[in-house]
Amino acid sequence: MIRIILIYCFVFLTTAICFSQSKYEYFGGLVLNDSTRITYKLSLTESKGEIKGYSITDLGGLYETKSTVFGEYNKAKKELNFREVQTIYTKTHLEKDYDFCYVNTTIKNFSFEKTEQFKAKFIGLFSDNSQCINGELFLSQPEKIEAKMEKVKKKIDKIKRIPDSIKQKFQPLKMMDSLNMNILRKNQTLSVFSKSDKINLIIYDGGKEDGDKVTIKANGKVLKNGYVVNNKKEIIELSLNEEVTRISITAVNEGEISPNTAILQLEDEKNNIKALSNLKAGETTTIDILKFKK
């Protein structure tokens, strides 16, 4: 029964748009030609027909990847064009000669103000414009999905066979919020791409201070040893002198509230990436900062 509920929730979670003013966020999915399904988030801003924003593929998954998006919106023709152009970060293991497959699509009969849900075919292109894999994307408003999830929650609450502990975990709003948080787990590497010569690593506790301690290293050099994470933001400036700057975060302990968690922000000239480490004592997560070749 629990497995059925989780599958039912996933179907709805992968078809979710929220917008305010000129910013529009869409949740949904990609269906590749080989029938593989991947969660997908699209965040756009529109100004005088110019589209800017980002996408996140495999949202919350092992291969989560964030990319810069550019495009055009023709209100009169009801047409939206957008394309992914550059990777901001990825959790995918990078091979020596890696390349990324970017989504390119045109959506017809589209209006930011009126279109509640839509789907369109997309073409996948490598950075040299050669084709990779194609498929279809589908997106829709989160308000609808949240309403459907609330209905599911009411049904779950009425089923006596489901333990209260499971019922308490099924909180639609919290589940939607969790999709927006970039989680860093043990033995995982987040690869971040930067054109800057310097980058700021900012660490702090975003909730209740509970005595979590971490050790932070950059290319093997200890930057913070047994640092107690608190609500005050600790800013560490790093020079990106190497092609790859490897930052490791190790949990020294687990404070009053398990596991050991800390908010980590990376700020350079263009990007502001926020993530949450989630570790048990002795576990390590890694961030690789890769310099774009100028």
Closest CA to 125 of 99, 88, 95, 94: 99
Angle at 93 between CA 90 and CA 98, to 5 degrees: 85
118-134: pLDDT as tens digits: 999 999 999 999 999 99
According to the model, what pLDDT value does residue 11 have?
41
Kindly state the tokens that stand for 28.
């949904």
Local confidence band at 152 (pLDDT 50, 70, 90 cut-offs) = low
According to the model, what pLDDT value does residue 8 have?
41
- In the structure, how many helices (H) and strands (E) does the chain have? 4, 19
Domain 17-140: CATH architecture, name and number where available: Beta Barrel (2.40)
Q: Is the dihedral of CA 40, 115, 53, 78 positive or negative?
A: positive
Tell me what the pLDDT averaged over the chain comes to: 85
* E strand segments, 75-154: 79-90, 102-108, 117-125, 135-140
What phi, psi does 6 have (nearest 5°)? -65, -40
Strand order in the sheet with 234-239: 183-184, 272-279, 260-267, 198-204, 234-239
Model-wide pTM > 0.85: no
Residue that has been written with the tokens 């092609």 in this structure? 243
According to the model, what pLDDT value does residue 174 have?
47
What CA–CA distance (Å, rounded) separates 84 from 64?
15
160-184: pLDDT as tens digits: 566 665 545 555 444 445 566 789 9
According to the model, what pLDDT value does residue 241 have?
92
What CA–CA distance (Å, rounded) separates 247 from 53?
27
For residue 3, pLDDT beyond 60: no
205-263: pLDDT as tens digits: 988 899 999 999 999 999 999 999 999 999 999 999 999 999 999 999 999 999 999 99
According to the model, what pLDDT value does residue 15 have?
41
Angle at 81 between CA 75 and CA 86, to 5 degrees: 140
Structural domain spans, the chain? 17-140, 182-291
What CA–CA distance (Å, rounded) separates 142 from 26?
8
What CA–CA distance (Å, rounded) separates 84 from 102?
5
According to the model, what pLDDT value does residue 180 have?
65
Residue bearing the bigger pLDDT, 289 or 163: 289
SS3 142: helix
Task: Tell me which H or E stretch contains 63.
Answer: none
What CA–CA distance (Å, rounded) separates 116 from 111?
9
